[in-house]
Structure 1
Amino acid sequence: MPAAADFVLEISGGTGGQYAVTVSSPAGEGAASVALEPGAIGARLADLQRAVLASSVTPRAAALGLERPVRDVGERLFRTVFDGRLRGLYLASRQRAAERDQPLRVVLRIRAPELAALPWELLHDEDLGGYLCLRQPLVRYVDLPEPLAPLRSEPPLKVLGMTSLPRSRAPLGAESERAALAVALRPLTERGLVELDWVEGQTADDLSRRLLRGCHVLHFIGHGAYDPQRHEGMITLADADGREHHLHASALASLLSVARPRPQLVILNSCQSGMGNAEDLFSSTAAVLVRSVPAIVAMQFAVTDKAATRFAASFYQALAGGRTVDEAVRVGRIALVVDKDDSLEWATPVLYLRGGDARLFDMPEPPEEPAGGPPRGPAAVPPRPVRPPDTGTPAGSDPGGPPGPGITSRVLNARQWVQALAFHPDGRRLATGSRSRVRVWDALTGNRIWEQTAGGWLSSVFAAAFSPGGRRLVTGGADNTVRIWAASDGEELLRLRHDHVVFGVAFSPDGFRVASASADRTVRLWDSTGGDPMLRIKHDQVVTDVAFSPEGARLASASADRSVHVWSLGGDALLRLRHDHPVKAVDFSPDGGRLATAGDDGCVRVWDAGSGHQRLLVRHGAAVKDIAFSPDGHWLATASADRTAGLWSTADGTRALRVQHHDTVLCVAFGPDGTWLASGSEDKTVKLTPVPGGRD
């Protein structure tokens, strides 16, 4: 999945009740001056608290009435902040993110302290689908002078739980939540990816002793409160006699600093742990802790035991499934809605992030035995299969079955989403692009030859291509750069800059030029040796892919503006092809006479590259992410969101092969002799499948 597109809403203090609102979004920037009365809204917080709690136990008819004051506050906040232009930017950003197949995230930067205590999670607009935080992740972002680097650690992920129930407090369902947490994490604990441990005892000393051994996640189950004298949040622990002992947020932050490793995430399933004070932006427990911990999930209202348990189970299940922490919070909110659809407790959780990185952990999967076992024999390329009498798999066959009769795929476990693939001209080496990693593998043994970091922690590599001679590898990714590497050892030779994400790269047939396609709406041509820019072509929207013709005189580009263009190397437009949906991929046939295109409509079209007449149409069950012609031009490979890679005859469009993955297939590539097809997927594998019969 591509990185989230951020709709950043910043509110700064002004004079006379006026506040400056600025927006930075995928659809552009905007600013407005708005009048807010935080005191009037703050005076209603106690009523909101009662409504939220009552909704969890009140019959449906009454609960619908309880929602009215909650919705009124949400609508008031939305109408005030999202004036006409800013509302238009939000709507356009949702549409643009959908066109790019990106999730949209609402990021709040509240720089006016008196506004920080308001319940922004209630933002509501009926025409836009209701409560914003149920449609998109909503994050409270805290700017601090020194950023924290994300934790890079090997499994197991260490989750430390603590329950604290002093005798004088009403009991929480701590044991049920403890059991729910264990159940939610069991699939990961059984595979050795997560280790769940508990603090033995309820005192600050008990917590301190256990933190000396470190953890990655701290999950607190208990009570919390707000100290109006000190203007600071607290969690309630026990003293040696079992009585209440309030630990203020600043003291808890100091206590967490002794942990090695320090937690990346703190979950506070305690009531009022998200409440703030209008005089201090960091007064709540959560906002104090985020000074030293990258992400905090806390409660801004009192929370029932059942809701806390339900939220925790769904939240961790989402994290275990690879979701970012902001999306996991949204999944937890939705679980509360599904559990009781007129309850308002989904509004209680609040997420604070210290930085923009919402993927806190990288949890690789355990090694997987390649299907069919390792190949044998001394050949540098996997042996060519013998064609059985009938190798076709009908389009309506069981998608969970093998690619075809007598055909077995080998599996390379990449341990990350595979978003780019490229075969080396020698047929033995295979390059993959993933989140922050470029890797080159031995396709025969499955061993990794070299690995390099490309960009930051969340900077995915979306495109890769070897030079015709095989001495260099070019990649493009989310850090807005094109990189050229030495194919032998991964030494970085050259770095070229775009103004936005790079989605496509290609070497010219003579190797002297590199073309790149970017979300900055440009196609660019570079000298591949010195990096000098040679050409810049502008599209109306994001450019998603680029390809050279085999003779090297033409350049094709695909775009989210629903078009494919063919250009001369001087920038002259030679051909324009129209689609009904954004186009994701383009490729020339080996003879240069045909052009294949594919996109969000699930259709793959083959065109005459000279006249623009459509010659072939084939359909997948979902959006097509990538395409590739076989070296002889007789086959066309496709990667699709329907979790399959397909192999199609370019003569009549019949499907000869279906390679089933467990998640969206993002990329495909043929080996240089056309006997093997590689497919990369969000299921973190590359499948190497023999092409039936090789060449016709």
Structure 2
Amino acid sequence: MPAGDFVLEISGGPGGRYAVTVSSPAGEGTASVALEPGAVGARLAELQRAVLASSVTPRAAALGLERPVRDVGEQLFRTVFDARLRALYLASRQRAAERDQALRVVLRIRAPELAALPWELLHDEELGGYLCLHQPLVRYVDLPEPLAPLRSGPPLKILGMTSLPRSRAPLDAESERAALAVALRPLTERGLVDLDWVAGQTADDLSRRLLRGCHVLHFIGHGAYDAERREGMLTLAGADGREHHLHASALASLLSVARPKPQLVVLNSCQSGMGNSEDLFSSTAAVLVRTVPAIVAMQFAVTDKAATRFAASFYQALAGGRSVDEAVRVGRIALVVDKDDSLEWATPVLYLRGGDARLFDMPEPADDRGTAAEREPAGGAAPGPGGVPPRPWWPPEGAGPADGPPPGPSSGPPPGPRITPRVLNARQWVHALAFHPDGRRLATGSRSRVRVWDALTGNRIWEQTAGGWLSSVFAAAFSPGGRRLVTGGADNTVRIWAASDGEELLRLRHDHMVFGVAFSPDGFRVASASADRTVRLWDSTGGDPMLRITHDQVVTDVAFSPDGARLASACADRSVHVWSLGGDALLRLRHDHPVKAVGFSPDGGRLATAGDDGCVRLWDAGTGHQRLLVRHAAAVKDVAFSPDGRWLATASADRTAGLWSATDGARALRVQHNGPVLCVAFAPDGGYLASGSEDKTLKLTPVPPP
């Protein structure tokens, strides 16, 4: 989960008690609680009546209707949040506010009888009332099967459907359709969003239209829970205009044939979030989340007015670049603003399959998009300066505008979190290191494992297997905006992962081991260096090969220049090459032994190289003139510049990591390990140096002030 998540996991325990585990920015905690889900469940009908009645009653009466809703919310909060967990929540919220970040409450409910309870009502008066009105609240669903990432160019395709059988109460569907059109008009007028509607109200009409695919499916109509089938369903119109029940499993099958498949389904229909107490996957929303990454549903009946207002505000937020979870909170607040004593804000429920809720990366409005060179053009735009094509506005899931270039040198690196000097036990050799741009997360590559750690706490955020038991991960790099992580390893593959939760997005193949990987500064390309004697460039959004450069021997490392116009490769033939992105040789530099690492300085004017001769050389990246030479007592495995270009870090088989002045070569720091040091990386603000070793540890060491 992302660092800004307050993760609340509840699972069944012995003796009718439940185990509560919290993972948060302020730390971790556990509790064992006694909760009677049957007693709360018995009040669901009363709660639904109160929520609906509050939308049409005068203020005084509506305030009285809130009493049972608040009682249930307070009961759930008091039961789950003991003093320790409540303090963790408060500290996490304060820490997020200090950093101007959003704290998200993530519910991982593993007990089926608890999944049916209205957790959106969590309430604590001293903490400001209902939690979901202050922070996004997500029901996170753990599923083993990965979902294929979405890859598409503009426009974003939103498909709406209204289905109103004659036998059911009429709905004001036209008002909701009009509200959607208004909310999305700024993007539809620019050709970035295509809002279309199913021509018909039957399942066959929906099936035919889904063959053409969509990115979002928005349903307006009736829903219900089928107690006999123990499954949620939508009520469509049959060919004769009468009711036709489409159960959630059948709808999921329909969605699976769409190309592209929806990334989000919005069910503006009653009880689409309602399930039973014996099956985690019984509600319509829970069934669909097996197929679709995010589902917005309604756990109670919902009025026409509330459904329309929620949808309009939700899509306005989504179109404005907000994540899906935050857009749901914006929709809730719109219902409060419209009638501040209404309780219908509690009706929407968000089910999320992955940790990252930013499913769609919308471009900024034209007036706020900077200079022409900085804008993100639509697909097919002409190459930018230096022959580098601009990245498309619609990257794969886990990519996006956040994957663009970081702030320029004039802005300086952002201040990072205060990391405590520490030693992390990785329990395996640490072959590769990469700091996330937020400065808090840290990726490592080891034997058959890719891991992402919380650098503040030392906790492991996620871990994924990459290759077989004996396959090592030799290289790792985050995309410029931190949405993706690329790795290379002994299984001959380059893999791109979602940085938030480790979902594998893309797998690319070499003919031999991959020793080096790098993202281009615009995030559009990935470069890889392999023992098959090639450097290859790939389209990071679709995996298409873009360039192949053949060397005489094993290629051990690769690096992009900061302007994205050049590529440097280190080779076992004792040389370093600098290439144009068209494959033209620009420069060749020599070592006395095989070269293992290469890196550009932040300004692109210098090139650092290191190898088996124990030497680290600093070169003029334009002329090839050697500026500096420093030595270790054994082979040097890795090299890295600090973000400000002042320091040079090295990893050596002499069991030390070194910190050197990039101006005169003076050593400023020696980090001692108990085995050969294989990799080094600076925190984005330059305040800390990470070093990984064969001693199975990862050390975080403060960098001395200049």
Question: TM-score range, shorter-chain basis?
Answer: 0.5 to 0.7
- Tell me the SS of whatever aligns to 2:277: coil
Q: How far does residue 152 in structure 1 lie from its aligned partner after superposition? A: 2.7
Deviations 1:398-430 (A, max 9, x none): 999999999999999999999999999999999
Contact 1:370–1:411, Cα closer than 8 Å, also in 2:
no
Contact 1:484–1:495, Cα closer than 8 Å, also in 2:
yes
Distance 1:385 1:302 in 2: 41
User: What is residue 542 of structure 1 aligned with on the other side?
Assistant: 554
Runs of 4+ in structure 1 off by over 4 angstroms are 368-692
Contact 1:381–1:444, Cα closer than 8 Å, also in 2:
no
Contact 2:416–2:685, Cα closer than 8 Å, also in 1:
no
Contact 1:273–1:299, Cα closer than 8 Å, also in 2:
yes
Contact 1:467–1:507, Cα closer than 8 Å, also in 2:
yes
Q: How far does residue 364 in structure 1 lie from its aligned partner after superposition? A: 3.9
Is 1:373 aligned with 2:388?
A: no
Q: How far does residue 145 in structure 1 lie from its aligned partner after superposition? A: 1.1
User: What is residue 689 of structure 2 aligned with on the other side?
Assistant: 677
Distance 1:663 1:333 in 2: 55
Distance 1:596 1:545 in 2: 12
Q: Which moved more, 1:495-504 or 1:127-136?
A: 495-504
Distance 1:83 1:232 in 2: 34
Alignment counterpart, residue 611 of structure 2, candidates 596, 599, 610: 599
**Structure 1 residues 673, 27: CA separation in 2 closer, same or farther (over 3 Å shift)?**
closer
Q: How far does residue 355 in structure 1 lie from its aligned partner after superposition? A: 1.3
**Structure 1 residues 597, 362: CA separation in 2 closer, same or farther (over 3 Å shift)?**
farther
Q: Which moved more, 1:9-18 or 1:665-674?
A: 665-674
Contact 1:326–1:358, Cα closer than 8 Å, also in 2:
yes
Is 1:492 aligned with 2:504?
A: yes
User: What is residue 248 of structure 1 aligned with on the other side?
Assistant: 247
Contact 1:297–1:351, Cα closer than 8 Å, also in 2:
yes
Deviations 1:594-624 (A, max 9, x none): 9999999999999999999999999999999
**Structure 1 residues 416, 237: CA separation in 2 closer, same or farther (over 3 Å shift)?**
farther
**Structure 1 residues 100, 231: CA separation in 2 closer, same or farther (over 3 Å shift)?**
same
Distance 1:285 1:458 in 2: 42
**Structure 1 residues 34, 565: CA separation in 2 closer, same or farther (over 3 Å shift)?**
farther
- Tell me the SS of whatever aligns to 1:449: strand
Contact 2:634–2:653, Cα closer than 8 Å, also in 1:
yes
Distance 2:181 2:653 in 1: 32
- Tell me the SS of whatever aligns to 1:254: helix
Deviations 1:184-217 (A, max 9, x none): 1111111111111110111111111111111110
Distance 2:417 2:626 in 1: 32
**Structure 1 residues 30, 218: CA separation in 2 closer, same or farther (over 3 Å shift)?**
same
TM-score by length of 2: 0.56
Distance 1:636 1:451 in 2: 30
Q: How far does residue 638 in structure 1 lie from its aligned partner after superposition? A: 30
Distance 1:689 1:481 in 2: 31
**Structure 1 residues 393, 278: CA separation in 2 closer, same or farther (over 3 Å shift)?**
closer
Q: How far does residue 357 in structure 1 lie from its aligned partner after superposition? A: 1.6
Q: Which moved more, 1:524-533 or 1:319-328?
A: 524-533
Distance 1:449 1:131 in 2: 28
**Structure 1 residues 139, 604: CA separation in 2 closer, same or farther (over 3 Å shift)?**
farther
Deviations 1:77-123 (A, max 9, x none): 00000011111111111122223332111110110000010000000
Distance 1:33 1:403 in 2: 39
Distance 1:561 1:85 in 2: 59
Contact 1:437–1:453, Cα closer than 8 Å, also in 2:
yes
Unaligned runs of 5+ in 1: none
Contact 1:373–1:410, Cα closer than 8 Å, also in 2:
no
**Structure 1 residues 247, 610: CA separation in 2 closer, same or farther (over 3 Å shift)?**
closer
**Structure 1 residues 435, 591: CA separation in 2 closer, same or farther (over 3 Å shift)?**
same
Q: How far does residue 148 in structure 1 lie from its aligned partner after superposition? A: 1.4
Deviations 1:133-156 (A, max 9, x none): 011110001111112143132110
Q: How far does residue 173 in structure 1 lie from its aligned partner after superposition? A: 0.8
Q: Which moved more, 1:609-618 or 1:479-488?
A: 609-618
Distance 1:400 1:550 in 2: 14
**Structure 1 residues 410, 12: CA separation in 2 closer, same or farther (over 3 Å shift)?**
closer
Deviations 1:325-350 (A, max 9, x none): 00100010011001111100000000
**Structure 1 residues 415, 238: CA separation in 2 closer, same or farther (over 3 Å shift)?**
farther
Contact 2:225–2:232, Cα closer than 8 Å, also in 1:
yes
**Structure 1 residues 251, 109: CA separation in 2 closer, same or farther (over 3 Å shift)?**
same
Deviations 1:377-407 (A, max 9, x none): 9999999999999999999999999999999
Deviations 1:245-300 (A, max 9, x none): 11111111111111111111000000011001001111000000001100000000
Q: How far does residue 72 in structure 1 lie from its aligned partner after superposition? A: 0.3
Contact 2:378–2:393, Cα closer than 8 Å, also in 1:
no
Q: Which moved more, 1:432-441 or 1:89-98?
A: 432-441
Contact 1:272–1:302, Cα closer than 8 Å, also in 2:
yes
Q: Which moved more, 1:159-168 or 1:683-692?
A: 683-692
Contact 1:382–1:444, Cα closer than 8 Å, also in 2:
no
Distance 2:146 2:511 in 1: 23
Contact 2:271–2:301, Cα closer than 8 Å, also in 1:
yes
Distance 1:442 1:84 in 2: 25
Contact 1:401–1:660, Cα closer than 8 Å, also in 2:
no
Q: Which moved more, 1:479-488 or 1:281-290?
A: 479-488
- Tell me the SS of whatever aligns to 2:385: coil
- Tell me the SS of whatever aligns to 1:58: coil
Contact 1:603–1:624, Cα closer than 8 Å, also in 2:
yes
Contact 1:550–1:588, Cα closer than 8 Å, also in 2:
yes
**Structure 1 residues 217, 618: CA separation in 2 closer, same or farther (over 3 Å shift)?**
farther
Residues 419-458 of structure 1 correspond to what in structure 2 (within 5 A)? none
Distance 2:646 2:4 in 1: 39
Contact 1:402–1:659, Cα closer than 8 Å, also in 2:
no
Distance 2:117 2:394 in 1: 68
**Structure 1 residues 396, 121: CA separation in 2 closer, same or farther (over 3 Å shift)?**
closer
Q: Which moved more, 1:505-514 or 1:160-169?
A: 505-514
Contact 1:535–1:570, Cα closer than 8 Å, also in 2:
yes
Percent of aligned pairs sharing the same letter: 90
Distance 2:67 2:176 in 1: 30
**Structure 1 residues 158, 412: CA separation in 2 closer, same or farther (over 3 Å shift)?**
farther
Deviations 1:34-88 (A, max 9, x none): 0000000000000000000000011111111111100000000000000111111
- Tell me the SS of whatever aligns to 2:262: coil
Q: Which moved more, 1:294-303 or 1:635-644?
A: 635-644
Contact 2:495–2:507, Cα closer than 8 Å, also in 1:
yes
- Tell me the SS of whatever aligns to 1:87: helix
Contact 1:302–1:348, Cα closer than 8 Å, also in 2:
yes
Distance 2:330 2:111 in 1: 29
Distance 1:509 1:458 in 2: 32
**Structure 1 residues 128, 636: CA separation in 2 closer, same or farther (over 3 Å shift)?**
farther
**Structure 1 residues 540, 20: CA separation in 2 closer, same or farther (over 3 Å shift)?**
farther
Q: Which moved more, 1:69-78 or 1:538-547?
A: 538-547
Alignment counterpart, residue 514 of structure 2, candidates 462, 484, 502: 502
Distance 1:688 1:371 in 2: 41
**Structure 1 residues 680, 324: CA separation in 2 closer, same or farther (over 3 Å shift)?**
farther
Contact 1:364–1:415, Cα closer than 8 Å, also in 2:
no
Number of residue pairs matched by the alignment: 690
Q: Which moved more, 1:328-337 or 1:582-591?
A: 582-591
Q: Which moved more, 1:51-60 or 1:513-522?
A: 513-522
Q: How far does residue 433 in structure 1 lie from its aligned partner after superposition? A: 22
Distance 2:541 2:242 in 1: 72
Contact 1:662–1:683, Cα closer than 8 Å, also in 2:
yes
Contact 2:416–2:684, Cα closer than 8 Å, also in 1:
no
User: How large is the RMSD of aligned CA atoms in angstroms?
Assistant: 17.4
Distance 1:309 1:523 in 2: 53
- Tell me the SS of whatever aligns to 1:233: strand
Distance 2:100 2:552 in 1: 17
Distance 1:7 1:567 in 2: 46
Contact 1:371–1:410, Cα closer than 8 Å, also in 2:
no
Contact 2:154–2:378, Cα closer than 8 Å, also in 1:
no
Q: How far does residue 561 in structure 1 lie from its aligned partner after superposition? A: 47
TM-score by length of 1: 0.57
Q: Which moved more, 1:529-538 or 1:120-129?
A: 529-538
Distance 1:211 1:508 in 2: 36
